[in-house]
Structure 1
Amino acid sequence: MTAVAATLTRDEAFARIRLLRSPNIGPVSFNQLLRRFGTASAALEALPDLAARGGAPYRPAAIERIEAEVAAVRSNGARYLFHDSPDYPALLAALESPPPILTVRGDSALLSRPSVAVVGARNASAAAVKLSRDFATALAGRGYVVVSGLARGIDSAAHRGALAGMADGGGTIGVIASGIDITYPPENTELQEHVASQGLLIAEMPPGTEPLARHFPHRNRIIAGLATGTLVVEAAPRSGSLITARLAAESGREVMAIPGSPLDSRSQGCNQLIREGAILVQSPDDVIELLAGFEGQARSSFREPSETYAADITDEPADIAGLLGLAPVAVDEIIRQSGSSAGAVQMALLELELAGRLQRHAAGRVSLVA
């Protein structure tokens, strides 16, 4: 294993990977366990007892499986990036639940440079593809890193444009919904390799993971989280691009959209964003003007940042079983109604999650598993 945080031992790095790959462990529970037990090694030892208190037996991820994963990461020329590593991007770390571990391949220096996400429709119009490419070329030429998802259409055009315009520190970052060794769609094999060799390729999923539908929202939050602002070039009313834009807004980032004809369904998503408060942009200079003066307060107003609730878990869990159901409810609402401390509620939720009885949703909500 290479290039981990300076204070992280080889054994602890391995334990962190094993902890994150263990059943029912996500970013929220991973971070809570680290805060509570101090190390991933100690957290792994505690997992069976915590899950038993939640009502189920538990076995962490097999050591052999993690050894195989580490070997696969190394063989693909990639490395792990841990959440407390000095080169972990600060904007991504500011999310409510940032990825505890990423797999990266390429120039990680791009993570510290000004960046903008460019996203849009897979079945984009020829005009929108050209716009995406031209915007990305201009932005990269002005020193910006263009972040996108290596999908068909707008994403691919954005990466190609940024690669063509790289200068003065600009470049491109591709975030994929699969393992670092998987290309999707297949026709982007050459493009993904160019992004990895000339820019940076990022995956949250372990090597060998195929890009399943449930992985794309995780990818979208990384795209939004890496960038100061998200530009939507063309999108249908219900699309992953709009999800990315809303995630950006909830994180307090700038949200921009290029308007289009109301007669084209592929423009309706952008027009809807603008109507709801996203900033209308018509040129790369409009984007640069917005982002160059960004100081943490977005001018777009189509959605307020979501409420977050963080607390260290405690030893004694709260009795919250009667407050939970199949409908997602905000954690802070559970805390208010239970009358217990935030830490006690978080411990109870963690035990239920480890036992496979709790599901976490966006915006800090939870529900029981059906």
Structure 2
Amino acid sequence: MRVTEFDFHIPKELIAQSPARPRDASKLMVLRDDETTHKAFSDLAEYLEDGDVLVINDSRVIPARIRGRKSTGGRIEILLVKEIQESMWECLLKGRVREGTELQFGSGDAIVYEKKDGKCVIAFNVDDFQSFLRREGTMPVPPYIKEEIADASEYQTIYAERDGSIAAPTAGLHFTEDMLSRIQETGARLAPITLHVSAGTFMPIRTENVEEHRMDDEYVNVSEETAGKIAQARQDGKKVIAVGTTSLKALESASREGTVQGYEGWSDLYIYPPYEFRSGVDALVTNFHLPRSTLLLLVSALAGRERLLAAYEEAVRLGYRFYSFGDAMLIFR
């Protein structure tokens, strides 16, 4: 399958530069059977009932972008990707370096330990890496967001708890405390998972054929408690709704023999059409994604490529906002 089959045009003015305020004022396009309905995200509770389960990703974005200089004076920019061991990280790096290049920051220094497959392993010479990161790191917002984020909390979900992501699980950005309360009043239950968003989620597909792309692995944790809630909902004939592609990927990674089980580990699962879903998820809450992206392919596998791209065309026509701070979809299988 050619990656060009997942291409489309988005006018620049529809790429959201800031979140809706309040968060749940964003639009919600609902795809159910052959019908398309246009709602506000705050209306999501209308689609929930007692016993349903809403699976959320509780990962928290870390200040993973660090700017500094080489010892020779040239500027560099680092994006942390994966912790190898204490104070040593696999990184994406802007700037020319080679193994052994010394790097300098305002409150510490580092050395390029290894270069491999377009990434660098960097060893930081700091007393306390977390303290260093809080001082030197900034929020790693996507490159299509050109405006500075005045408040870093706007790029965190309100239920983020576990540090580790280098990009937000953006479907969750629409929720407010009031909205969560209204959802729980329906009798629906929240079930947290953790998937630390990394390069595997946002790296572009550079191969002509979809099947040739390879995903970087990402940390996943699905607790026994969450697996139990999902099993109970399925047994009772209730809906299981994944909030975001990361939640869906986590559930699929934790599924064995058609059942979501407790799991902790790493997943390089790459979902693209055709794909047989194993977790029993009934619906997906998701944002509108970039063309030719692994996220678009995952949603296409759930919704159907033609159905999804037709919905995107309608979204463009109606002025929906796209990408991380954009509007959302609720897609029923």
Q: TM-score range by the shorter chain?
A: under 0.3
Structure having the larger proportion of residues in strand: 2
Report 1 or 2 for greater relative contact order, CA contacts < 8 Å, sequence distance ≥ 6.
2
Structure having the larger proportion of residues in helix: 1
TM-score w.r.t. the length of structure 2 is: 0.28
